[in-house]
Chain A
Protein backbone atom coordinates (compact mmCIF):
# COMPACT_ATOMS: atom_id res chain seq x y z
CA UNK A 1 0.00 0.00 0.00
CA UNK A 2 2.57 2.52 1.14
CA UNK A 3 4.83 2.01 -1.88
CA UNK A 4 2.08 2.79 -4.34
CA UNK A 5 0.99 5.98 -2.55
CA UNK A 6 4.62 6.92 -2.19
CA UNK A 7 5.11 6.46 -5.89
CA UNK A 8 1.97 8.42 -6.58
CA UNK A 9 3.18 11.24 -4.37
CA UNK A 10 6.56 11.28 -6.03
CA UNK A 11 4.90 11.41 -9.41
CA UNK A 12 2.76 14.36 -8.41
CA UNK A 13 5.82 16.12 -6.95
CA UNK A 14 7.63 15.59 -10.22
CA UNK A 15 4.60 16.95 -12.04
CA UNK A 16 4.53 20.06 -9.87
CA UNK A 17 8.24 20.70 -10.38
CA UNK A 18 8.51 20.01 -14.10
CA UNK A 19 4.96 20.59 -15.29
CA UNK A 20 4.79 24.39 -15.47
CA UNK A 21 8.13 24.86 -17.21
CA UNK A 22 7.45 22.00 -19.62
CA UNK A 23 4.07 23.41 -20.54
CA UNK A 24 5.53 26.89 -20.94
CA UNK A 25 8.32 25.70 -23.21
CA UNK A 26 6.02 23.45 -25.22
CA UNK A 27 3.66 26.35 -25.92
CA UNK A 28 6.05 29.26 -26.25
CA UNK A 29 9.18 27.58 -27.61
CA UNK A 30 8.49 24.36 -29.50
CA UNK A 31 5.13 25.39 -30.86
CA UNK A 32 6.36 28.68 -32.42
CA UNK A 33 9.30 26.88 -34.04
CA UNK A 34 6.99 24.25 -35.56
CA UNK A 35 4.65 26.95 -36.83
CA UNK A 36 7.62 28.73 -38.39
CA UNK A 37 8.61 25.52 -40.15
CA UNK A 38 5.10 25.16 -41.56
CA UNK A 39 5.01 28.86 -42.44
CA UNK A 40 8.15 28.57 -44.54
CA UNK A 41 6.21 26.27 -46.90
CA UNK A 42 3.19 28.56 -47.26
CA UNK A 43 2.38 30.93 -50.09
CA UNK A 44 3.07 34.58 -49.27
CA UNK A 45 -0.12 36.61 -48.99
CA UNK A 46 -0.61 39.66 -51.17
CA UNK A 47 -0.64 42.08 -48.26
CA UNK A 48 1.59 40.30 -45.76
CA UNK A 49 0.62 37.14 -43.93
CA UNK A 50 0.33 33.84 -45.76
CA UNK A 51 -2.10 31.86 -47.89
CA UNK A 52 -2.88 28.33 -46.79
CA UNK A 53 -1.24 26.53 -49.72
CA UNK A 54 1.87 24.42 -50.12
CA UNK A 55 4.53 26.61 -51.71
CA UNK A 56 8.10 25.30 -51.85
CA UNK A 57 9.22 28.28 -53.93
CA UNK A 58 10.19 30.21 -50.80
CA UNK A 59 13.14 27.86 -50.69
CA UNK A 60 13.33 27.91 -54.48
CA UNK A 61 14.02 31.62 -54.51
CA UNK A 62 17.05 30.96 -52.36
CA UNK A 63 18.28 27.64 -53.68
CA UNK A 64 17.75 27.89 -57.42
CA UNK A 65 14.23 26.94 -58.46
CA UNK A 66 11.31 29.31 -58.48
CA UNK A 67 7.85 29.86 -59.78
CA UNK A 68 8.51 32.21 -62.72
CA UNK A 69 4.94 33.51 -62.64
CA UNK A 70 5.55 35.28 -59.39
CA UNK A 71 9.21 35.62 -58.64
CA UNK A 72 12.56 34.55 -59.97
CA UNK A 73 15.41 32.69 -58.51
CA UNK A 74 17.83 35.36 -57.48
CA UNK A 75 21.45 34.38 -56.75
CA UNK A 76 21.72 37.39 -54.46
CA UNK A 77 20.14 35.38 -51.63
CA UNK A 78 22.62 32.55 -51.79
CA UNK A 79 25.45 35.05 -52.01
CA UNK A 80 24.17 36.80 -48.87
CA UNK A 81 24.06 33.41 -47.19
CA UNK A 82 27.63 32.65 -48.27
CA UNK A 83 28.80 36.08 -47.14
CA UNK A 84 27.21 35.55 -43.73
CA UNK A 85 28.90 32.16 -43.52
CA UNK A 86 32.23 33.72 -44.47
CA UNK A 87 31.91 36.58 -41.95
CA UNK A 88 30.89 34.15 -39.20
CA UNK A 89 33.86 31.87 -39.93
CA UNK A 90 36.35 34.75 -40.02
CA UNK A 91 34.86 36.01 -36.76
CA UNK A 92 35.41 32.60 -35.17
CA UNK A 93 39.01 32.43 -36.40
CA UNK A 94 39.78 36.00 -35.31
CA UNK A 95 38.22 35.54 -31.87
CA UNK A 96 40.22 32.37 -31.40
CA UNK A 97 43.42 34.12 -32.46
CA UNK A 98 42.74 36.92 -29.97
CA UNK A 99 41.85 34.62 -27.05
CA UNK A 100 44.18 31.63 -27.38
CA UNK A 101 47.53 33.25 -26.51
CA UNK A 102 45.95 35.34 -23.77
CA UNK A 103 44.46 32.19 -22.22
CA UNK A 104 47.97 30.70 -21.97
CA UNK A 105 49.40 33.77 -20.30
CA UNK A 106 46.51 34.08 -17.85
CA UNK A 107 46.58 30.38 -16.91
CA UNK A 108 50.17 30.85 -15.76
CA UNK A 109 49.51 33.84 -13.49
CA UNK A 110 49.44 33.46 -9.69
CA UNK A 111 45.93 32.65 -8.43
CA UNK A 112 45.02 36.13 -7.28
CA UNK A 113 45.92 37.76 -10.59
CA UNK A 114 44.32 34.92 -12.48
CA UNK A 115 40.98 35.49 -10.77
CA UNK A 116 41.22 39.20 -11.35
CA UNK A 117 42.00 38.68 -15.05
CA UNK A 118 39.03 36.33 -15.42
CA UNK A 119 36.84 38.91 -13.69
CA UNK A 120 38.00 41.59 -16.14
CA UNK A 121 37.23 39.37 -19.12
CA UNK A 122 33.74 38.35 -17.98
CA UNK A 123 32.74 41.84 -16.82
CA UNK A 124 32.01 43.28 -20.30
CA UNK A 125 29.71 40.32 -20.96
CA UNK A 126 27.33 41.86 -18.44
CA UNK A 127 27.37 45.26 -20.11
CA UNK A 128 24.76 46.10 -22.69
CA UNK A 129 25.54 44.67 -26.11
CA UNK A 130 24.19 47.67 -27.97
CA UNK A 131 26.32 50.01 -25.88
CA UNK A 132 29.45 47.99 -26.58
CA UNK A 133 28.71 48.07 -30.30
CA UNK A 134 27.94 51.75 -30.29
CA UNK A 135 31.41 52.48 -28.95
CA UNK A 136 32.84 50.97 -32.13
CA UNK A 137 30.78 53.35 -34.25
CA UNK A 138 32.56 56.20 -32.48
CA UNK A 139 35.92 54.54 -32.97
CA UNK A 140 35.56 53.53 -36.60
CA UNK A 141 33.61 56.37 -38.17
CA UNK A 142 35.31 58.81 -40.49
CA UNK A 143 35.91 61.42 -37.79
CA UNK A 144 36.34 58.72 -35.18
CA UNK A 145 39.05 57.72 -32.78
CA UNK A 146 40.87 55.27 -35.08
CA UNK A 147 41.22 57.82 -37.86
CA UNK A 148 42.30 60.46 -35.35
CA UNK A 149 45.08 58.20 -34.10
CA UNK A 150 46.14 57.18 -37.60
CA UNK A 151 46.22 60.79 -38.75
CA UNK A 152 48.02 61.89 -35.59
CA UNK A 153 50.75 59.32 -36.23
CA UNK A 154 50.92 60.46 -39.88
CA UNK A 155 50.13 56.97 -41.09
CA UNK A 156 47.29 58.21 -43.29
CA UNK A 157 46.71 61.61 -44.84
CA UNK A 158 43.01 61.15 -45.56
CA UNK A 159 40.61 59.52 -43.16
CA UNK A 160 39.93 55.90 -44.09
CA UNK A 161 36.52 54.35 -44.68
CA UNK A 162 36.59 52.01 -41.73
CA UNK A 163 32.97 51.77 -40.77
CA UNK A 164 30.27 50.16 -42.93
CA UNK A 165 32.63 47.45 -44.15
CA UNK A 166 32.88 43.72 -43.57
CA UNK A 167 35.97 44.43 -41.51
CA UNK A 168 34.00 46.68 -39.16
CA UNK A 169 31.39 43.96 -38.68
CA UNK A 170 34.09 41.42 -37.88
CA UNK A 171 35.82 43.72 -35.37
CA UNK A 172 32.49 44.42 -33.68
CA UNK A 173 31.62 40.73 -33.49
CA UNK A 174 35.04 39.75 -32.15
CA UNK A 175 34.69 42.43 -29.51
CA UNK A 176 31.31 41.26 -28.23
CA UNK A 177 32.06 37.53 -28.51
CA UNK A 178 35.42 37.47 -26.68
CA UNK A 179 34.01 36.08 -23.40
CA UNK A 180 32.19 33.31 -25.31
CA UNK A 181 35.45 32.09 -26.82
CA UNK A 182 37.79 32.85 -23.97
CA UNK A 183 36.12 30.88 -21.20
CA UNK A 184 35.95 27.46 -22.96
CA UNK A 185 39.46 27.87 -24.38
CA UNK A 186 40.76 28.88 -20.98
CA UNK A 187 39.12 25.86 -19.34
CA UNK A 188 41.05 23.59 -21.72
CA UNK A 189 44.35 25.44 -21.36
CA UNK A 190 44.06 25.41 -17.59
CA UNK A 191 43.75 21.62 -17.61
CA UNK A 192 46.72 21.16 -19.95
CA UNK A 193 49.23 18.67 -18.61
CA UNK A 194 52.57 20.47 -18.95
CA UNK A 195 54.55 17.30 -18.30
CA UNK A 196 53.43 16.11 -21.76
CA UNK A 197 54.80 19.32 -23.24
CA UNK A 198 58.13 18.81 -21.49
CA UNK A 199 58.19 15.18 -22.61
CA UNK A 200 57.68 16.28 -26.19
CA UNK A 201 60.56 18.75 -25.90
CA UNK A 202 62.81 16.14 -24.26
CA UNK A 203 62.09 13.80 -27.14
CA UNK A 204 63.47 16.43 -29.49
CA UNK A 205 60.36 18.02 -30.94
CA UNK A 206 60.80 21.66 -31.92
CA UNK A 207 58.45 24.42 -30.77
CA UNK A 208 56.12 24.11 -33.72
CA UNK A 209 55.91 20.33 -33.52
CA UNK A 210 55.21 20.47 -29.79
CA UNK A 211 52.46 22.97 -30.35
CA UNK A 212 50.87 21.23 -33.30
CA UNK A 213 51.15 17.63 -32.10
CA UNK A 214 50.75 18.05 -28.33
CA UNK A 215 49.41 21.39 -27.11
CA UNK A 216 46.83 22.03 -29.81
CA UNK A 217 45.20 18.57 -29.76
CA UNK A 218 44.99 18.70 -25.96
CA UNK A 219 43.24 22.06 -26.01
CA UNK A 220 41.05 21.18 -28.99
CA UNK A 221 37.86 20.54 -26.96
CA UNK A 222 37.88 24.13 -25.69
CA UNK A 223 38.69 25.46 -29.15
CA UNK A 224 35.81 23.53 -30.74
CA UNK A 225 33.37 24.43 -27.97
CA UNK A 226 34.26 28.12 -28.09
CA UNK A 227 34.09 28.17 -31.88
CA UNK A 228 30.58 26.78 -31.85
CA UNK A 229 29.20 29.23 -29.31
CA UNK A 230 30.70 32.09 -31.29
CA UNK A 231 29.60 30.78 -34.68
CA UNK A 232 25.92 30.32 -33.78
CA UNK A 233 25.14 33.93 -32.80
CA UNK A 234 27.50 35.28 -35.49
CA UNK A 235 25.79 33.58 -38.42
CA UNK A 236 22.27 34.97 -37.99
CA UNK A 237 23.38 38.23 -36.40
CA UNK A 238 21.54 41.31 -37.47
CA UNK A 239 22.42 43.85 -34.80
CA UNK A 240 26.14 44.07 -35.57
CA UNK A 241 25.69 44.46 -39.36
CA UNK A 242 22.84 46.92 -38.77
CA UNK A 243 25.04 49.11 -36.57
CA UNK A 244 28.49 48.67 -38.11
CA UNK A 245 27.65 47.50 -41.64
CA UNK A 246 25.04 50.16 -42.29
CA UNK A 247 23.08 49.49 -45.45
CA UNK A 248 26.27 48.60 -47.30
CA UNK A 249 27.03 45.13 -46.00
CA UNK A 250 23.99 42.93 -45.68
CA UNK A 251 23.95 39.68 -43.78
CA UNK A 252 21.33 36.97 -43.51
CA UNK A 253 19.96 38.49 -40.31
CA UNK A 254 19.28 41.83 -41.98
CA UNK A 255 17.59 40.08 -44.91
CA UNK A 256 15.32 38.19 -42.52
CA UNK A 257 14.51 41.35 -40.61
CA UNK A 258 13.57 43.08 -43.89
CA UNK A 259 11.18 40.31 -44.83
CA UNK A 260 9.38 40.67 -41.53
CA UNK A 261 9.39 44.38 -40.86
CA UNK A 262 9.90 45.84 -44.36
CA UNK A 263 8.92 43.67 -47.30
CA UNK A 264 6.31 41.79 -45.27
CA UNK A 265 6.98 38.49 -46.97
CA UNK A 266 6.81 36.35 -43.87
CA UNK A 267 6.93 32.89 -45.46
CA UNK A 268 10.09 33.85 -47.34
CA UNK A 269 11.59 35.25 -44.14
CA UNK A 270 10.68 32.02 -42.34
CA UNK A 271 12.43 30.03 -45.07
CA UNK A 272 15.56 32.14 -44.61
CA UNK A 273 15.40 31.58 -40.85
CA UNK A 274 15.12 27.85 -41.46
CA UNK A 275 18.34 28.12 -43.42
CA UNK A 276 20.06 29.64 -40.37
CA UNK A 277 18.61 26.93 -38.17
CA UNK A 278 19.70 24.18 -40.57
CA UNK A 279 23.27 25.50 -40.52
CA UNK A 280 23.23 25.60 -36.72
CA UNK A 281 21.82 22.08 -36.45
CA UNK A 282 24.45 20.80 -38.87
CA UNK A 283 27.20 22.32 -36.74
CA UNK A 284 25.73 20.89 -33.54
CA UNK A 285 25.43 17.47 -35.19
CA UNK A 286 29.12 17.50 -36.06
CA UNK A 287 29.94 18.68 -32.56
CA UNK A 288 28.06 15.77 -31.00
CA UNK A 289 29.87 13.35 -33.33
CA UNK A 290 33.18 14.97 -32.36
CA UNK A 291 32.39 14.65 -28.66
CA UNK A 292 31.31 11.03 -29.05
CA UNK A 293 34.49 10.13 -30.92
CA UNK A 294 36.59 11.85 -28.32
CA UNK A 295 34.78 9.82 -25.67
CA UNK A 296 35.73 6.61 -27.51
CA UNK A 297 39.34 7.68 -27.83
CA UNK A 298 39.76 8.69 -24.23
CA UNK A 299 40.39 5.19 -22.80
CA UNK A 300 42.99 4.53 -25.50
CA UNK A 301 44.84 7.71 -24.63
CA UNK A 302 44.80 6.80 -20.99
Chain B
Protein backbone atom coordinates (compact mmCIF):
# COMPACT_ATOMS: atom_id res chain seq x y z
CA UNK B 1 0.00 0.00 0.00
CA UNK B 2 2.77 2.41 0.97
CA UNK B 3 4.73 1.70 -2.20
CA UNK B 4 1.56 2.25 -4.27
CA UNK B 5 1.25 5.64 -2.63
CA UNK B 6 4.85 6.42 -3.54
CA UNK B 7 4.18 5.50 -7.15
CA UNK B 8 1.31 7.99 -7.07
CA UNK B 9 3.46 10.74 -5.57
CA UNK B 10 6.32 10.15 -8.01
CA UNK B 11 3.85 9.92 -10.89
CA UNK B 12 2.25 13.23 -9.99
CA UNK B 13 5.66 14.84 -9.65
CA UNK B 14 6.76 13.51 -13.03
CA UNK B 15 3.52 14.71 -14.55
CA UNK B 16 4.14 18.21 -13.23
CA UNK B 17 7.63 18.22 -14.73
CA UNK B 18 6.07 17.25 -18.08
CA UNK B 19 3.50 19.99 -17.61
CA UNK B 20 6.19 22.65 -17.30
CA UNK B 21 8.17 21.14 -20.15
CA UNK B 22 5.08 21.43 -22.35
CA UNK B 23 4.78 25.11 -21.45
CA UNK B 24 8.42 26.11 -21.72
CA UNK B 25 10.08 23.80 -24.26
CA UNK B 26 8.50 25.67 -27.22
CA UNK B 27 9.71 28.98 -25.81
CA UNK B 28 13.24 27.65 -25.32
CA UNK B 29 13.16 26.28 -28.88
CA UNK B 30 12.20 29.56 -30.49
CA UNK B 31 14.87 31.47 -28.61
CA UNK B 32 17.51 28.88 -29.52
CA UNK B 33 16.57 28.75 -33.19
CA UNK B 34 16.54 32.51 -33.53
CA UNK B 35 20.35 32.13 -33.53
CA UNK B 36 20.37 29.37 -36.15
CA UNK B 37 22.13 30.35 -39.35
CA UNK B 38 20.30 27.93 -41.70
CA UNK B 39 18.06 30.17 -43.80
CA UNK B 40 16.07 27.38 -45.48
CA UNK B 41 15.20 24.85 -42.83
CA UNK B 42 14.85 26.70 -39.58
CA UNK B 43 14.96 23.52 -37.52
CA UNK B 44 18.22 22.30 -39.01
CA UNK B 45 20.97 23.68 -36.81
CA UNK B 46 23.85 24.85 -38.96
CA UNK B 47 25.65 27.31 -36.78
CA UNK B 48 25.30 30.30 -34.50
CA UNK B 49 24.47 33.70 -35.95
CA UNK B 50 23.16 37.13 -35.00
CA UNK B 51 22.19 37.72 -38.62
CA UNK B 52 18.42 37.58 -38.12
CA UNK B 53 18.63 40.19 -35.41
CA UNK B 54 20.83 42.36 -37.60
CA UNK B 55 18.40 41.79 -40.42
CA UNK B 56 15.34 43.05 -38.55
CA UNK B 57 17.15 46.18 -37.50
CA UNK B 58 18.33 46.74 -41.05
CA UNK B 59 21.99 46.31 -40.16
CA UNK B 60 24.59 44.79 -42.42
CA UNK B 61 24.71 41.03 -42.22
CA UNK B 62 26.08 38.00 -43.98
CA UNK B 63 22.74 36.95 -45.43
CA UNK B 64 23.19 37.43 -49.15
CA UNK B 65 21.25 40.14 -50.94
CA UNK B 66 18.98 37.76 -52.82
CA UNK B 67 17.97 36.12 -49.57
CA UNK B 68 16.34 39.23 -48.16
CA UNK B 69 13.44 37.65 -46.38
CA UNK B 70 11.76 40.32 -44.42
CA UNK B 71 9.23 42.48 -46.24
CA UNK B 72 11.02 45.53 -45.05
CA UNK B 73 12.42 46.79 -41.81
CA UNK B 74 10.39 49.89 -42.47
CA UNK B 75 7.13 47.93 -42.27
CA UNK B 76 8.14 46.18 -39.09
CA UNK B 77 9.11 49.39 -37.33
CA UNK B 78 5.97 51.03 -38.59
CA UNK B 79 3.86 48.22 -37.13
CA UNK B 80 5.72 48.52 -33.83
CA UNK B 81 5.14 52.28 -33.81
CA UNK B 82 1.43 51.76 -34.47
CA UNK B 83 1.17 49.20 -31.68
CA UNK B 84 2.88 51.49 -29.19
CA UNK B 85 0.75 54.46 -30.22
CA UNK B 86 -2.46 52.46 -29.87
CA UNK B 87 -1.35 50.96 -26.54
CA UNK B 88 -0.43 54.40 -25.14
CA UNK B 89 -3.86 55.78 -25.94
CA UNK B 90 -5.90 52.73 -24.97
CA UNK B 91 -4.01 52.28 -21.70
CA UNK B 92 -4.63 55.90 -20.73
CA UNK B 93 -8.30 55.96 -21.70
CA UNK B 94 -9.13 52.53 -20.28
CA UNK B 95 -7.26 53.21 -17.03
CA UNK B 96 -9.02 56.53 -16.43
CA UNK B 97 -12.51 55.28 -17.33
CA UNK B 98 -12.10 51.87 -15.68
CA UNK B 99 -10.74 53.38 -12.46
CA UNK B 100 -13.49 55.99 -12.35
CA UNK B 101 -16.11 53.29 -12.78
CA UNK B 102 -14.57 51.14 -10.05
CA UNK B 103 -14.48 54.13 -7.66
CA UNK B 104 -18.07 55.00 -8.51
CA UNK B 105 -19.31 51.51 -7.75
CA UNK B 106 -17.18 51.39 -4.60
CA UNK B 107 -18.41 54.67 -3.12
CA UNK B 108 -22.03 54.82 -4.14
CA UNK B 109 -25.09 52.65 -3.94
CA UNK B 110 -27.73 53.10 -6.56
CA UNK B 111 -30.61 51.28 -8.14
CA UNK B 112 -29.50 48.58 -10.58
CA UNK B 113 -25.92 48.49 -9.30
CA UNK B 114 -25.75 44.71 -9.54
CA UNK B 115 -27.01 44.76 -13.10
CA UNK B 116 -24.52 47.46 -13.98
CA UNK B 117 -21.72 45.33 -12.61
CA UNK B 118 -22.79 42.36 -14.75
CA UNK B 119 -22.90 44.66 -17.77
CA UNK B 120 -19.28 45.61 -17.11
CA UNK B 121 -18.27 41.96 -17.29
CA UNK B 122 -19.95 41.46 -20.65
CA UNK B 123 -17.14 42.87 -22.86
CA UNK B 124 -14.71 40.34 -21.35
CA UNK B 125 -16.99 37.39 -21.98
CA UNK B 126 -17.91 38.43 -25.49
CA UNK B 127 -16.05 36.28 -28.04
CA UNK B 128 -13.42 38.44 -29.79
CA UNK B 129 -14.69 37.74 -33.24
CA UNK B 130 -18.25 38.80 -32.41
CA UNK B 131 -17.12 42.14 -30.97
CA UNK B 132 -14.69 42.59 -33.86
CA UNK B 133 -17.26 42.28 -36.61
CA UNK B 134 -19.89 44.21 -34.65
CA UNK B 135 -17.43 47.11 -34.43
CA UNK B 136 -16.58 46.74 -38.13
CA UNK B 137 -20.25 46.97 -39.14
CA UNK B 138 -20.69 49.90 -36.75
CA UNK B 139 -17.70 51.92 -37.99
CA UNK B 140 -18.41 51.30 -41.66
CA UNK B 141 -22.07 52.13 -41.10
CA UNK B 142 -21.13 55.35 -39.32
CA UNK B 143 -18.78 56.17 -42.18
CA UNK B 144 -15.70 56.34 -39.98
CA UNK B 145 -12.55 55.53 -41.91
CA UNK B 146 -10.72 52.56 -40.42
CA UNK B 147 -7.31 53.19 -38.91
CA UNK B 148 -5.54 53.95 -35.65
CA UNK B 149 -8.56 55.84 -34.33
CA UNK B 150 -10.94 52.93 -34.75
CA UNK B 151 -8.41 50.48 -33.29
CA UNK B 152 -8.06 52.64 -30.18
CA UNK B 153 -11.82 52.94 -29.72
CA UNK B 154 -12.41 49.25 -30.39
CA UNK B 155 -9.79 48.08 -27.91
CA UNK B 156 -11.05 50.44 -25.22
CA UNK B 157 -14.50 48.88 -25.49
CA UNK B 158 -13.18 45.78 -23.76
CA UNK B 159 -10.08 47.09 -21.92
CA UNK B 160 -12.20 49.30 -19.66
CA UNK B 161 -13.66 46.13 -18.17
CA UNK B 162 -10.25 44.63 -17.45
CA UNK B 163 -9.07 47.76 -15.62
CA UNK B 164 -12.39 47.98 -13.78
CA UNK B 165 -12.03 44.43 -12.47
CA UNK B 166 -8.43 44.81 -11.32
CA UNK B 167 -9.09 48.13 -9.56
CA UNK B 168 -12.34 46.84 -8.02
CA UNK B 169 -10.53 43.84 -6.58
CA UNK B 170 -8.02 46.20 -4.99
CA UNK B 171 -10.74 48.48 -3.59
CA UNK B 172 -12.65 45.53 -2.16
CA UNK B 173 -9.61 44.61 -0.06
CA UNK B 174 -9.24 48.13 1.30
CA UNK B 175 -9.54 49.13 4.94
CA UNK B 176 -12.68 51.27 5.26
CA UNK B 177 -11.87 52.35 8.80
CA UNK B 178 -9.08 54.61 7.49
CA UNK B 179 -11.66 56.50 5.47
CA UNK B 180 -13.88 56.93 8.50
CA UNK B 181 -10.91 58.03 10.59
CA UNK B 182 -10.02 60.62 7.98
CA UNK B 183 -13.57 61.96 7.98
CA UNK B 184 -13.63 62.01 11.80
CA UNK B 185 -10.43 64.04 11.81
CA UNK B 186 -12.17 66.67 9.75
CA UNK B 187 -10.87 65.98 6.26
CA UNK B 188 -13.32 66.86 3.53
CA UNK B 189 -14.30 64.30 0.91
CA UNK B 190 -11.78 65.47 -1.65
CA UNK B 191 -8.92 65.32 0.85
CA UNK B 192 -9.96 61.85 1.97
CA UNK B 193 -10.11 60.74 -1.62
CA UNK B 194 -6.72 62.22 -2.48
CA UNK B 195 -4.85 61.20 0.68
CA UNK B 196 -6.52 57.93 1.67
CA UNK B 197 -8.40 56.23 -1.16
CA UNK B 198 -6.19 57.03 -4.12
CA UNK B 199 -2.86 55.95 -2.56
CA UNK B 200 -4.41 52.68 -1.44
CA UNK B 201 -5.98 52.06 -4.84
CA UNK B 202 -2.79 52.92 -6.70
CA UNK B 203 -1.28 49.40 -6.96
CA UNK B 204 -4.56 48.24 -8.49
CA UNK B 205 -4.55 51.14 -10.94
CA UNK B 206 -0.96 50.39 -11.98
CA UNK B 207 -1.74 46.69 -12.27
CA UNK B 208 -4.82 47.41 -14.36
CA UNK B 209 -2.86 49.78 -16.61
CA UNK B 210 -0.11 47.19 -17.18
CA UNK B 211 -2.67 44.54 -18.00
CA UNK B 212 -4.42 46.89 -20.42
CA UNK B 213 -1.10 47.74 -22.05
CA UNK B 214 -0.15 44.10 -22.54
CA UNK B 215 -3.54 43.06 -23.87
CA UNK B 216 -3.61 46.06 -26.19
CA UNK B 217 -0.14 45.28 -27.60
CA UNK B 218 -1.22 41.67 -28.13
CA UNK B 219 -4.75 42.11 -29.44
CA UNK B 220 -5.13 40.50 -32.81
CA UNK B 221 -8.73 39.53 -33.51
CA UNK B 222 -10.57 42.76 -32.84
CA UNK B 223 -7.78 44.89 -34.30
CA UNK B 224 -7.71 42.65 -37.38
CA UNK B 225 -11.29 43.53 -38.29
CA UNK B 226 -11.19 47.25 -37.60
CA UNK B 227 -7.69 48.22 -38.69
CA UNK B 228 -8.47 48.77 -42.36
CA UNK B 229 -6.05 47.92 -45.15
CA UNK B 230 -3.23 50.39 -44.51
CA UNK B 231 -2.75 50.16 -40.78
CA UNK B 232 -0.77 47.29 -39.30
CA UNK B 233 -0.03 46.62 -35.67
CA UNK B 234 2.72 44.25 -34.60
CA UNK B 235 0.52 41.15 -34.11
CA UNK B 236 -1.19 41.77 -37.45
CA UNK B 237 2.18 42.16 -39.15
CA UNK B 238 3.32 38.81 -37.76
CA UNK B 239 0.01 37.15 -38.59
CA UNK B 240 0.44 38.36 -42.16
CA UNK B 241 3.99 37.03 -42.28
CA UNK B 242 2.81 33.64 -41.05
CA UNK B 243 0.11 33.47 -43.68
CA UNK B 244 2.56 34.23 -46.46
CA UNK B 245 5.05 31.60 -45.35
CA UNK B 246 7.53 31.57 -42.54
CA UNK B 247 10.83 33.34 -42.79
CA UNK B 248 13.70 32.87 -40.37
CA UNK B 249 13.90 36.39 -38.98
CA UNK B 250 10.45 35.87 -37.51
CA UNK B 251 12.19 33.80 -34.82
CA UNK B 252 14.25 36.81 -33.86
CA UNK B 253 11.19 39.08 -33.83
CA UNK B 254 9.34 36.54 -31.70
CA UNK B 255 12.25 36.27 -29.26
CA UNK B 256 12.43 40.04 -28.83
CA UNK B 257 8.67 40.19 -28.26
CA UNK B 258 8.85 37.41 -25.66
CA UNK B 259 11.67 39.22 -23.91
CA UNK B 260 9.68 42.46 -23.88
CA UNK B 261 6.46 40.94 -22.54
CA UNK B 262 8.27 38.91 -19.90
CA UNK B 263 10.00 42.08 -18.73
CA UNK B 264 6.70 43.96 -18.48
CA UNK B 265 5.03 41.02 -16.73
CA UNK B 266 7.86 40.69 -14.22
CA UNK B 267 7.58 44.39 -13.51
CA UNK B 268 3.87 43.97 -12.84
CA UNK B 269 4.41 41.01 -10.54
CA UNK B 270 7.14 42.92 -8.75
CA UNK B 271 4.69 45.74 -8.01
CA UNK B 272 2.20 43.19 -6.77
CA UNK B 273 4.67 41.53 -4.43
CA UNK B 274 5.63 44.92 -3.00
CA UNK B 275 2.06 45.72 -2.18
CA UNK B 276 1.73 42.47 -0.21
Contacts and interface: CB of A to CB of B under 8 A. Distances in A.
B30 to A, nearest CB: 5
Contacts of B243: 242
Interface string B116-130: 100110110111111
Contact of B157 (A13, A28, A130): A28
A257 interface: yes
Most chain A beta-carbon neighbours within 10 Å: one of B107, B116, B242, B262: B242
Contacts of A270: 133, 137
Contact of A18 (B100, B154, B258): B100
A280 B137 contact: no
A137 B244 CA distance: 13
A180 B27 CA distance: 19
Contact of A130 (B41, B126, B133, B239): B239
Contacts of A277: 126-127, 130
A214 interface: no
Contacts of A14: 104, 108, 110
A281 to B, nearest CB: 9
A2 to B, nearest CB: 14
Interface residues of B, number: 78
Given A36-B137, A130-B235, A239-B220, A20 B100 contact: yes
A69 to B, nearest CB: 25
Contact of A233 (B19, B23, B127, B261): B127
A144 B43 contact: yes
Contacts of B116: 18
A interface, over-half SS = helix
Interface string B233-254: 0110011001100100011001
Contacts of B115: none
Most chain B beta-carbon neighbours within 10 Å: one of A32, A261, A273: A32
A128 interface: yes
Contacts of B16: 101-102, 105-106
B129 A236 contact: yes
A138 B258 contact: no
Contacts of A237: 129
Contact of B221 (A136, A175, A239, A273): A239
A137 to B, nearest CB: 6
A285 to B, nearest CB: 12
Contacts of B41: 143
A203 interface: no
Interface string B253-266: 01001100110110
A25 B160 contact: yes
A97 B158 CA distance: 30
Nearest to B135: A32
Given A14-B110, A145-B43, A127 B138 contact: no
Nearest to B122: A29
B207 interface: no
Most chain B beta-carbon neighbours within 10 Å: one of A128, A148, A261: A128
Interface of A: 10, 13-14, 16-18, 20-22, 24-25, 28-29, 31-33, 35-36, 39, 98-99, 101-102, 104-106, 117, 119-124, 126-132, 134-139, 143-145, 148, 175, 178, 232-233, 235-239, 242-243, 253, 256-257, 260-261, 266, 269-270, 273, 276-277, 280, 284
Interface of B: 12-13, 15-16, 19-20, 22-24, 26-27, 29-30, 33, 41-44, 97-98, 100-101, 103-105, 107-108, 110, 116, 119-120, 122-123, 125-131, 133-138, 141, 153-154, 156-158, 160, 164, 214, 217-218, 220-221, 225, 234-235, 238-239, 242-243, 246, 250-251, 254, 257-258, 261-262, 264-265, 268-269
9 contacts: A21-B160, A25-B160, A105-B12, A128-B258, A129-B220, A233-B128, A243-B242, A256-B133, A277-B127
Which 8 pairs across A and B sit closest by C-beta, in order of nearness? Answer: A17-B104, A126-B265, A32-B138, A32-B134, A236-B127, A21-B97, A135-B26, A36-B134
